[in-house]
Structure 1
Amino acid sequence: MAETKWVALSVGGSLLNDGKPNAKMASSLAKIFMQTKMRLAIVVGGGKEAREAADAQRKMGKSEFYADMAGIKVTHKNADALRQALGKEAGKKIFSDFEGAAKASHTQKYVIMGGTIPGITTDADACLLAEAIGAKQLVNLSKTAIYSGDPSKNKNAKKFSRLKYSQLISLATKGDKRKAGTHFVFDLLACSLISRSKIKAHFVDGRNSSDVKNAILGKKHNGTVVG
Structure 2
Amino acid sequence: MKKVVISLGGSILIPSLENHTIREYVPVLQKIAKKSRLFVVVGGGGEARRYIGIARELGIDEGTSDEIGILITRLNATMLIAALGDAAYPKVAESHAEAKKFSEHGKIVVMGGITPGQTTDAVAAVLAERVGATAFINATSVDGIYSEDPKKNPKATRFDAITPQKLLEIVGKTALGAGSNNVLDIVAARVVERSGIPLIVIDGRKPENLAEAILKGKFRGTVVSDAKKKALPV
TM-score band w.r.t. shorter chain: over 0.9
SS of 1:169's equivalent? helix
1:155 corresponds in structure 2 to 154
TM-superposed deviation, 1:155: 1.5
1:32 corresponds in structure 2 to 28
Residue by residue, what CA displacement relative to the aligned partner does 1:37-69 show, whole Å, maximum 9, x if unpaired? 222111000000101111111111110011101
Partner residue of 2:53 out of 55, 71, 75 = 55
Given that residues 171 and 185 in structure 1 are in contact (C-alpha distance below 8 angstroms), is that contact kept between their aligned partners in structure 2? no
1:212 corresponds in structure 2 to 210
Given that residues 13 and 78 in structure 1 are in contact (C-alpha distance below 8 angstroms), is that contact kept between their aligned partners in structure 2? yes
Q: How does 1:1-227 map to 2 (within 5 A)?
A: 4-20=1-17, 22-23=19-20, 25-36=21-32, 37=34, 38-144=36-142, 145-175=144-174, 177-217=175-215, 219-227=217-225
TM-superposed deviation, 1:130: 1.2
Structure 1 residues 21 and 129: alpha-carbon distance in aligned structure 2, compared to 1, 3 A threshold: farther
Given that residues 41 and 112 in structure 2 are in contact (C-alpha distance below 8 angstroms), is that contact kept between their aligned partners in structure 1? yes
CA distance in 2 between partners of 1:216 and 1:180 (Å): 31
SS of 2:59's equivalent? coil
Residue identity opposite 1:154 in structure 2: N
Residue identity opposite 1:29 in structure 2: Y
Aligned residues: 222
Given that residues 54 and 67 in structure 1 are in contact (C-alpha distance below 8 angstroms), is that contact kept between their aligned partners in structure 2? yes
Residue by residue, what CA displacement relative to the aligned partner does 1:79-138 show, whole Å, maximum 9, x if unpaired? 111111221121211111111110111113211101001011100000111122111301
Q: TM-score, normalised on structure 2?
A: 0.90
CA distance in 2 between partners of 1:138 and 1:181 (Å): 21
CA distance in 1 between partners of 2:106 and 2:89 (Å): 7
TM-superposed deviation, 1:150: 1.6
Given that residues 142 and 206 in structure 1 are in contact (C-alpha distance below 8 angstroms), is that contact kept between their aligned partners in structure 2? yes
CA distance in 2 between partners of 1:71 and 1:28 (Å): 24
CA distance in 1 between partners of 2:18 and 2:77 (Å): 11
SS of 1:215's equivalent? helix
CA distance in 2 between partners of 1:71 and 1:21 (Å): 20
TM-superposed deviation, 1:21: 6.5
- Tell me, which stretches of 5 or more residues in structure 1 are unaligned? none
CA distance in 2 between partners of 1:114 and 1:182 (Å): 15
Residue identity opposite 2:69 in structure 1: G
Given that residues 211 and 223 in structure 1 are in contact (C-alpha distance below 8 angstroms), is that contact kept between their aligned partners in structure 2? no
CA distance in 1 between partners of 2:176 and 2:18 (Å): 25
Given that residues 27 and 82 in structure 1 are in contact (C-alpha distance below 8 angstroms), is that contact kept between their aligned partners in structure 2? no
CA distance in 2 between partners of 1:105 and 1:59 (Å): 40
Given that residues 14 and 22 in structure 2 are in contact (C-alpha distance below 8 angstroms), is that contact kept between their aligned partners in structure 1? no
TM-superposed deviation, 1:174: 0.7
SS of 1:15's equivalent? helix
Q: Following TM superposition, where does structure 1 have runs of at least 4 consecutive aligned residues deviating by more than 3 angstroms?
A: none
SS of 1:123's equivalent? helix
